[in-house]
Copies of this chain bind each other. A is one copy, B any other.
Amino acid sequence: MNLPESPTEVRKLIRSGKWSSPTTGVAPGYVQANLAMLPREEAFNFLLFCVRNPKPCPILEVLEPGVVEPTIGPGADLRSDLPRYNVFEQGKFQGQVQDVTDIFHDEMVSFLLGCSFSFENGLVAGGIPVRNLEEKRNVSMYITNRPCVPTGPFSAQLVVTMRPMQPEEAVRATQITTRYHLTHGAPIHIGSPEVIGIKDLDRPDFGDPVTIKPDEIPVFWACGVTAMLAATSVPLPLVITHAPGHMFVSDLKDEQLTLF
């Protein structure tokens, strides 16, 4: 089966239950988003957490309580149009489901946050190798020693993704990703993983390890998983997130979000 090309087509396949795999590579050129749904009582604090930590938690859209059709995907339903969801109750993981229509309710607020798929397209277009794409693996993610700015009950250590490259490519990658300020923007760290608390690049906390060549340095970007850790750091009655890699595919084009 060919990968679906349009966001509407992707969402239709997902809603009908015909697509439950990760969304990597589908609808190329369109923005994909992290999803977090949580009770309105804590929506102010979570929104403020995102505002205070914009590199890991870039806000694409926040919906009114109970609303499930985002403006960045007209006709979509956030309860059914992602291929897989993680469900948490009282901060504890309850399992994965393919539809949350029966548990989402009118007092829940949905947050859509930017994802690094956008800037990976930009890196590839700019001739920068993206190892996880080359090796068809999930990107390597690490929990750092850098605390986010805590807000209300929410806190998290910053999570980063890592892509290895030549030093001169790291300069160009910094320039390119600066344009993508709503999808994590410029790197937060280059080189020396130990400085940000990463002991072994071959053992990521999430995702897969990738090959690092002897003359390459690791380049680190803030990662949306940070927001998921923050949202589930508190024993709220119900929190719903996308399952890693199973994103919301929006109608926005990557190039519509760039700063310049």
Q: Measuring CB to CB, which residues of chain A are less than 8 angstroms from any residue of chain B?
A: 40, 43-44, 47-48, 51-52, 59, 62, 64, 152, 178, 181, 186, 259-260
CA distance A260 to B175 in the complex (A): 9
CA distance A82 to B97 in the complex (A): 52
Contacts of A260 in B (CB 8 A): 178, 186
CA distance A167 to B134 in the complex (A): 46
Of all A-B residue pairs in the complex, the 4 with the closest CB atoms, nearest first, are A44-B44, A178-B260, A51-B59, A48-B62
Name A54's closest neighbour in chain B (CB-CB).
Answer: B59
CA distance A152 to B63 in the complex (A): 11
CA distance A62 to B48 in the complex (A): 8
CA distance A186 to B259 in the complex (A): 9
| Selected contact of A51 from candidates B51, B52, B64, CB within 8 Å | B51
19 intermolecular pairs with C-beta atoms under 8 Å apart: A40-B44, A43-B44, A44-B44, A44-B47, A47-B47, A47-B48, A47-B51, A48-B62, A51-B51, A51-B59, A51-B62, A52-B62, A64-B152, A178-B259, A178-B260, A181-B181, A181-B259, A186-B260, A259-B259
